[in-house]
Amino acid sequence: MAFGATDTDIATESEARAMTGNEAIARGVWEAGAKVAAAYPGTPSTEILEALALYPEDDIAAQWSINEKVALDTAIGASFGGVRAFAAMKHVGLNVAADALMSQSYIGANGGLVIAVCDDPGIHSSQNEQDTRLFARMALVPVLEPSDQQEALDYTRLAFEVSERFDTPVILRGSTRLSHSRGKIWTGSRSTDEPKPFLERPDKNVMIPAHARARHPVALERERLIGDWLVEAGLTRREDGPDGATDRVGYITAGPAYTYLREILPDAPVLKLGASYPLPTGLIEEFVASYDRVLVVEELEGVIEESVRVRGIAVEGKAYFPRTGELSPEMVRAGLVAAGVLAPPEKTEAPIEFEPLIRPPLLCAGCPHSTCYLALRSANARVMGDIGCYTLAVVEPLSAIDTCVAMGSGIANAAGLAKAGTESKPIVATIGDSTFMHSGITPLIDAVYNNANITVFILDNHITAMTGGQDHPGTGKTLRGKETHKVDYEALVRAIGVTWVQQIDSYDVANVQRVLGDAIDHRGVSVIISDRPCVLDPVRIKGPAMTVVPDDCTACQACMNLGCPAITWSDEWHDGRHRVEIDQTLCIGCSLCAQLCAPGGIIPAADAPVALS
């Protein structure tokens, strides 16, 4: 596994272990000797920093930042200081960090600067499926694309070297499949280079127009050099297959698409690119010249295909493979059939198919968000949502979110809607505590400044829940679990200039309704802060379960409006409708359903007649 004469020769001191792509990236960051790592959580990238926090604090400062831009700027600062530095984010996180990236590309890197950006083809857990490789091309920043866990580690190490050698930030592009797949890999040891001194060169580090004009051509020049160097380093390689076995069709691919292609065509001639920007033009020309026909197999956009074609080299690709969704061996096979290089599969027995049960993800049993949306639905509010677990309130039965654009959009969306003057319903923005920290504070200042008539509902469940329970400045804990200053939301909101602020307990259903009514009646910006911990993180909350007394259940369905996954229809009927029952293993005993049950049919299981509990 040597990459030529580089410092990433890790064949020595190796040890095999099973790691996810994210763990492998973290390992690569640590092995590369990085001193500072920062990130804002985002599926599928979250576990990279969580894994880094398992390495000694003396080796690496690993921390959560308030958002992706702050994470990247933190890493940039460390790079200025001459140490290797790292930032991680999901694909849409790069939109937030883009401003810094675009200029840093001109500035370069003193200590190696690597940004892991994890795409989400197929949109398993995101708001879109943008292709980071297009971003890299725009920023003139190389983008390395590992195809499996071993490469995730090796490329990460190598990315730092590319960064220092060519004076550029480097993007390591992951994907959901890579991040969350586990594979057996060989690890190495940590390299320990001395930090470089701060480079006192304002012409390079201070991006005023005169300096930037001079740096832009420098960034363009390194394009050519890097593409060729990746070939020398063995990252980009020709796999021509067994001698004489060629069917005159060659393939160019990169990233996880390589594994799908190999699954279908284990012996086909492949040019496997280690980076889809910059490209090794010479090698591509040679490869294409060796075959009658060359197909590019890549996930999402035809980034490689287009870049190759604009150089006047004839290749095909997106005519046969989709531009949306996640690739799979099946889709690669279908594309190859469409391209006429594989014979259509023989008709075999049709697989046994059933109409799948609709099972969308749900708010947890006892989720403190549920009553807030129950109240919003009752208030018939126009709800400008945001991103987090609470976005799940968009589906029935809560069905109480009208919009969701991007992290932190809701508040300004609400203010804009209010200014439009077309909405007759009360306008409410809902935003989670972590999202509020990420990008909700500035639009709230703006709404006060411009005197928008809106209500802002901050859903404080004391954690970043959607991504699996990460701390943030509102929780008072760091990534490494250390106590730190805890932001006081009410004081913060008042300091911004909001005069109407109330904290509520979202487990008090009647009070949530009452306070929401008052907040809506207030003219100008009103803020409600709901205050109840998430039931999953940081600790799993489980109280004594509730139960339904069947004879007392009138099957009115009021409790079903919560969408609590512990409540479901029982086999009993009343007046033409299903009675309900509570799954004792799922119920956490929050009592919300009991508060909604007018006949009092829901009681603690411990109080129930023995036959019931």
- Residue 554 binding partner per list ligand TPP, ligand SF4, another protein, none, with a CB distance cut-off of 5 to 8 Å that depends on partner kind: another protein
Which of 29, 215, 214 lies closest to 105 in space, CA to CA? Answer: 215
Supply the minimum distance, in Å, between the C-beta of residue 603 and ligand TPP. 29
Query: Stretches 1-9, 222-230, 435-443, 562-570: which one binds another protein (CB under 8 A)?
Result: 562-570
Any bridge partners for residue 119, and if so which?
175
460-519 binders of ligand TPP (CB under 6 A): 461, 463-467
- For residue 74, the SS3 value is helix
**HSE (CB half, 13 Å, CA atoms) of 363?**
27
- Three-class SS state of 511: helix
* Nearer to another protein (CB atom), residue 125 or residue 290: 125
369 interacts with ligand SF4 by CB under 6 A? yes
Half-sphere exposure of 101 (CA within 13 A, CB side): 31
The interface region with ligand SF4, picked from 35-43, 141-149, 264-272, 591-599 by CB under 6 A, is 591-599
387 binds, among ligand SF4, ligand TPP, another protein, none (CB under 5 to 8 A by kind): ligand TPP
558 binds, among ligand TPP, another protein, ligand SF4, none (CB under 5 to 8 A by kind): another protein
- 255-283: b or e for each residue (b if 16 or more CB lie within 10 Å)? bbbbbbbbebbeebbbbbbbbbbbbbbeb
CB of 434 to ligand SF4, least distance (A): 10
Amino acid at 62: A
Look up residue 226 and give its two tokens: 């890097």
* Residue 74 or 370 with smaller CB distance to another protein: 370
Q: How far is CA 463 from CA 434, 435, 477, 539, 592, in A?
A: 7, 10, 10, 11, 21
- Asked if 435 is part of the footprint of ligand TPP (rule: CB under 6 A), the reply reads yes
Which ranges in 209-291 belong to alpha helices (H)? 209-232, 257-264, 281-289
> Could you tell me if 202 and 44 are in contact, meaning their C-beta atoms sit under 8 angstroms apart?
no
- x/- mask, ligand TPP, residues 88-107, rule CB under 6 A, reads --x-xx--x-----------
Q: Does 42 bind ligand TPP (CB under 6 A)?
A: yes
CB of 535 to ligand TPP, least distance (A): 11
- Residue 514: enclosing H or E segment and its boundaries? helix 509-521
Residue 372 C-beta: closest distance to ligand SF4, Å: 11
Tell which positions 348-407 bind another protein, by CB under 8 A.
348-349, 351-354, 356-364, 377-378, 380, 389, 392, 395-397
- Which of these ranges, 112-120, 394-402, 432-440, 498-506, lies near ligand TPP under the rule CB under 6 A? 432-440
Near ligand SF4 by CB under 6 A, which window of 211-219, 238-246, 258-266, 560-568? 560-568
* Residue number, 112 or 122, with CB nearest to ligand TPP: 122
**Residue 184 interacts with another protein (CB under 8 A)?**
yes
If contact means CB under 5 to 8 A according to the sort of partner, which of ligand SF4, ligand TPP, another protein, none does residue 164 touch? none
Binding mask 533-552 for ligand TPP (x = CB under 6 A): -x------------------
457 near ligand TPP, judged by CB under 6 A: no
Least distance to ligand TPP, CB of residue 408, Å: 8
Q: Which two tokens stand for residue 114?
A: 């690597």
In the bound state with ligand TPP, the residue whose beta carbon lies nearer, of 21 and 42, is 42
Buried b (16+ CB within 10 A) or exposed e, 513-539: eebbeebbeeeebbbbbbbbbbbbbee
Query: What are 405's two structure tokens?
Result: 């654009």
Q: Decide the pairing of beta strands 455-460 and 526-531.
A: parallel
The answer to whether 368 contacts ligand TPP (rule: CB under 6 A) is no
> Pick from another protein, ligand SF4, ligand TPP, none: which does 593 bind, CB < 5 to 8 A by kind?
ligand SF4
C-alpha dihedral, 471 to 474 to 478 to 479, nearest 10°: 20
Other Cβ atoms less than 10 A from the Cβ of 127: the count is 17
Order across the sheet with 170-175: list the strands.
61-64, 36-39, 85-90, 113-119, 170-175, 143-144, 275-277
Cα(304)–Cα(249) distance, integer angstroms: 17
Task: Give least dist CB 122 to ligand SF4, A.
Answer: 22
Residue 155: closest CA among 165, 143, 141, 166: 143
> With respect to ligand SF4, which residue has the nearer C-beta, 146 or 366?
366
Contact call for residue 363 and ligand SF4 (CB under 6 A) = yes
Question: Which amino acid appears at position 80 of this protein?
Answer: F
Residue 44 lies near another protein (rule: CB under 8 A): yes
Query: Shortest approach of ligand TPP to residue 480 CB, angstroms?
Result: 19
Identity of the residue, 133 or 369, whose beta carbon is nearer to ligand SF4 in the bound complex: 369
Residue nearest ligand TPP, CB atom distance: 432
Tokens representing 102 are 């675009």
Task: Assess contact for 391 and 362: CB atoms under 8 A.
Answer: no
Q: Which residues bind ligand TPP (CB under 6 A)?
A: 40-42, 90, 92-93, 96, 127, 387-390, 407, 432-435, 461, 463-467, 534
